[in-house]
Amino acid sequence: MEQVRSIAAPRPSYRWVQLSLGILCMIMVANLQYGWTLFVNPLDAKYHWGRAAIQVAFSIFVLTETWLVPIEGYLVDRFGPKIVVLVGGILAGISWIINAYADSLTVLYISAAIGGVGAGAVYGTCIGNALKWFPDLRGLAAGLTAAGFGAGSALTIIPIQAIIKSSGYEIAFLYFGIGQGVIVFLVSLALAAPRAGEVPAGVGVVKVEQTKRNYHPLEIIKSPVFWVMYMMFIMMAAGGLMATAQLGPIAKDYKVADVSVSLLGLTLPALTFALSIDRVLNGLTRPLFGWVSDHIGRENTMFIAFGIESIGIVALGLYGSDPVLFVILSGLVFFAWGEIYSLFPSTCTDSFGTKFATANAGLLYTAKGTASLLVPLANVLTTSTGSWHAVFWIAAAMNAIAAIMALAVLKPLRHRLTVADRDRA
């Protein structure tokens, strides 16, 4: 159990310290997902397993990262965030160390499962902790924390690529696995959840609808609000995960991967440039749209962001063969996608309360795992059609449907739920 801390309310800055620690942990596990695309082609070049078979490892990672988060959330609610993140950091490090020596798809898949459990433990815990510490700025806090995961790999894209080229992908897996795991282990020792009275009183005025009731995880799975959000999450996550896992192969097929692009005073190969900018924008969008949603409402923000994502995917499919446009449009796609990781957990906690926020947000987060099942199918569809266009159009359509559902379905359902909870109180 978490050690008992002083009953005196901590300084207002203490919750920002906790938020910062969570962000740092997220940064350290970001490469397990966002750096994966750099290893796909080198793995295939060495073992000739085929990109579709290798991408099954990515799906396994995402499935174990997401589908076990509700259980990890329960452990957080019972034992606190420290031990769960500590174990998660160890598992994340072990996963990449195994990848360095994996000589069969079976070993690669086992490693992906271990890494998924570790990353999910860190991700779910840090998001849940942010939601609890910041009831007044829930979108911003969740967004900043999720930004660590979304943009955490931005600074390491170039070093990882350099190590892969100079020493091989095995050394990159080994060095970064050890380093990332050790840092999460050390930072986890300072993590703490808010106890009764520790969230400062009068922290701000809540501008979005929030329930006064705390729903148990077994209750929320009976709510139509939960399942509407779940379907929207799947539709939004699928396109972004496809881009995350397949950006390297897409750039190679479009013949732009190694073409030099000059933007913002920098000249880099198109794929390297895209990966670096994408990580930054994928991180920036999470607190930005989270903050916007704190002021104009979750569903209104969803409609705007999801609509932009749909347009961006179509444009990338049509014009991505131009190296400069590939960099710019892939950045737009990631910018309009990453906010789902601040908007959905915030909306979930607004709807179902803070007491079980980690487990409830974890249940919703499993939608990302469900969406990951579609990632290998993108390769199959591309192979059968001879291009990526069908994949892009399907992803864009799902995003457009989710945007409409935000206003036409989710918003009225959530309003009725909060009104009903208010009437019961």
pLDDT in tens, 136-195: 889 999 999 988 887 777 778 789 989 999 999 999 999 999 999 999 999 999 999 888
Structure tokens at 250: 């897409």
Give residue limits of the domains in the chain. 13-194+214-424
Mean pLDDT of all residues in 118-141: 92
Q: What is the SS3 assignment for 263?
A: strand
Query: 203 or 424, which is more confident?
Result: 424
Residue 298 in contact with residue 413, Cβ under 8 Å?
A: no
Assess whether pLDDT exceeds 50 at residue 129.
yes
Predicted confidence at residue 150, as pLDDT, reads 74
Per DSSP, 268 falls in state: E
Round to the nearest angstrom and report the end-to-end CA distance of the chain: 32
Ranking 36-50, 93-107, 110-124, 386-400 by mean pLDDT, the lowest is 386-400
Alpha-helix residue ranges (DSSP H) falling in 35-137: 37-47, 51-67, 69-79, 81-101, 105-133
Kindly indicate the confidence band of residue 11, based on its pLDDT and cuts at 50, 70 and 90.
low
In this predicted structure, what is the pLDDT of residue 201?
56
pTM: 0.80
- The two tokens of residue 62 are 């995402």
* Predicted local confidence at residue 9, as pLDDT: 54
Nearest to 399 by CA among 288, 312, 289: 312
Round to whole Å and give the CA distance between 56 and 346: 30
Mean predicted confidence (pLDDT) in 196-214: 71
| pLDDT score for 265 | 86
Q: Please report, for residues 208, 321, 390, the alpha-carbon distance to residue 120 in angstroms, rounded to integers and kept in the order given.
A: 28, 35, 31
Which of 23-37, 153-167, 287-301, 374-388 has the least mean pLDDT?
Answer: 374-388
11 vs 323, more confident: 323
Confidence of residue 35 (pLDDT cuts 50, 70, 90): confident
Asked if pLDDT for residue 246 goes beyond 80, the answer is: no
Q: Residue 242 contacts by C-beta under 8 Å, 6 or more apart in sequence?
A: 374, 375, 378, 391, 395
Whether residue 377 is predicted with pLDDT greater than 60 in this model: the reply is yes
Burial zone of 7 (CB within 10 Å; 0-12 exposed, 13-18 middle, 19+ buried)? exposed
Using the Cα atoms of residue 405, residue 406, residue 408 and residue 412 in order, give the sign of their dihedral: positive
Arithmetic mean of pLDDT over the chain: 88
Q: What is the CATH number of domain 13-194+214-424?
A: 1.20.1250.20
pLDDT band at 96 (very low <50, low <70, confident <90, very high): very high
pLDDT at 1: 45
Going by their DSSP bridges, the two strands 266-269 and 260-263 should be labelled as antiparallel
Give which of 254, 259, 223, 165 is closest to 416, Cα–Cα: 223
Does pLDDT of 259 surpass 50? yes
- For the segment 290-296, the average pLDDT, to the nearest whole number, is 94
Residue 244: pLDDT over 70: no
Q: At what angle do helices 81-101 and 105-133 cross, to 10 degrees?
A: 160
Q: Is 8's pLDDT higher than 70? A: no
Give the pair of three-digit tokens for residue 149.
């995961």
Q: What is the pLDDT of residue 3?
A: 47
For residue 4, the model assigns a pLDDT of: 46
Sorting pLDDT into bands at 50, 70 and 90, what band is 73? Answer: confident
